[in-house]
Amino acid sequence: MEQVMLKLRENIVVRWQVVCCALLINIMTPFVVAKPREVELGFSDPMNAGDVTITFTDTSRPVGEAGRTKSVPVSIPANTTAQGKRDLIAQALKDQGFTVEKSGKTALYLSYVDDKVEVKFKAGQTAESDVVSGGGAVKASIDFEGEFEPMDSSGMVAEFSAGVITDLGAIYAVVDANELGWQTDGVAICAALFGQLMAQADGMGVELEHQGSRIAVAFDEDAVVEGGGIQVGTTSPSAGSGGRVLFGVPELELTLDQFVAGAKTTFQVSNAGAFESVYFVYGLGEAGDFAVPSLDVVLDIARPKLIGVRSADANGVATLSTAIPQNASGLKVLLQAAEVGGISMLREEVVQ
């Protein structure tokens, strides 16, 4: 742990890095005593007033069942400290029936009793850094959706940060609008942060993949016994930063070999149930919730369309090949796979 902290301190060269590194260290410290069925949330000082939203989904419960998903919006007033923000969120979670325990000055533990849960958070326009972590993390995504103002509310150049935490330590990346050539859309931000994180990822027990306006994280189960998670932050006043962490069990893994107009693409899903039907879907619009009661899942594509259905083999692997239209070059496509009771992480791909 001492080596991790020293490495983080070596990278501290700007104000926002100081804030985010301190947040990572604060969250990492309790991992040695964290219980396996607790999610830890950590916060920094928000620069602006705004609403943050935390969504807690017990994905093992049927779609439509009362209590399966709880979305907790919290209004953060201007000039709120990290501790004040933590206290507001803790009270809002308690009001929704969660068991919450405060940790240090800027974090809290959120207890759960089910084996398969997903925690999403959205920072709104508050311009802050947040951490979601816990034992048994399986997958995560770091999200910067849409366009971001290149200057913060005080007139300084806006910065964007991301981090990944495992039992083996933490990796961290930060980039500002100037370094991005003032191209502050989510795809450009994630590409820059992904490059920095990848340079530090060896031996950390994670696999990273750049997927448009998000960075997908897959955790090695042996590396997150005590705790694994993500950090996402920005000083830009624009909404769109956030992330999610899935705890408990592996979800479907969706991969593809290429995505080129006029060429054949092969999709592959792993971690499916043996001989189960796997549904491959896509969307051309925005991400959003779409319930499929027959599969007992909620897709992350607002208006999904079916590509095809394939049966998984005895190892839980299903493949589907299809041709990409010749005139689709430059099109942004959302991709996801589903089976009864399970989905893959949403992928965002641009046709080459």
Residues 155 and 197 placed together within one structural domain of the fold: yes
Residues 173 and 112 placed together within one structural domain of the fold: yes
Q: Over 80: is that where the pLDDT of 238 sits?
A: yes
**String of b and e for 175-206 (b: at least 16 CB within 10 Å)?**
bbbeebeeebbbbbbbbbbbebbeebbeebbb
Residues 104 and 232 placed together within one structural domain of the fold: yes
CATH code at position 288: 2.60.40.1930
Give the chain's domain count.
2
- Average pLDDT, rounded, for the chain: 84
Q: Which of 247, 282, 299 is the last residue of a domain?
A: 247
Among 102, 104, 158, smallest CA distance to 128 is for 158
Residues 240 and 110 placed together within one structural domain of the fold: yes
**What's the domain range around 299?**
253-350
Residues 215 and 279 placed together within one structural domain of the fold: no
Residues 237 and 326 placed together within one structural domain of the fold: no
Model pLDDT for residues 92-139, shown as the tens digit of each residue: 999 988 889 998 889 988 876 566 788 889 988 998 889 988 888 888
pTM for the whole structure: 0.73
Over residues 172-200, the mean pLDDT reads: 96
Residues 75 and 195 placed together within one structural domain of the fold: yes
Residues 223 and 259 placed together within one structural domain of the fold: no
Residues 209 and 270 placed together within one structural domain of the fold: no
Residues 14 and 89 placed together within one structural domain of the fold: yes
Distance from C-alpha of 19 to C-alpha of 350, rounded to nearest angstrom? 34
Q: Which of 247, 265, 300 is the last residue of a domain?
A: 247
Q: Give the pLDDT confidence score for residue 271 in this predicted structure.
A: 84
Q: Which of 247, 270, 303 is the last residue of a domain?
A: 247
Q: Over 80: is that where the pLDDT of 33 sits?
A: no
Percentage of residues of the chain with pLDDT beyond 70 = 85
Model pLDDT for residues 42-57, shown as the tens digit of each residue: 999 999 999 999 888 7
Residues 124 and 234 placed together within one structural domain of the fold: yes
Residues 103 and 120 placed together within one structural domain of the fold: yes
Over residues 324-330, the mean pLDDT reads: 91
Q: Over 90: is that where the pLDDT of 61 sits?
A: no
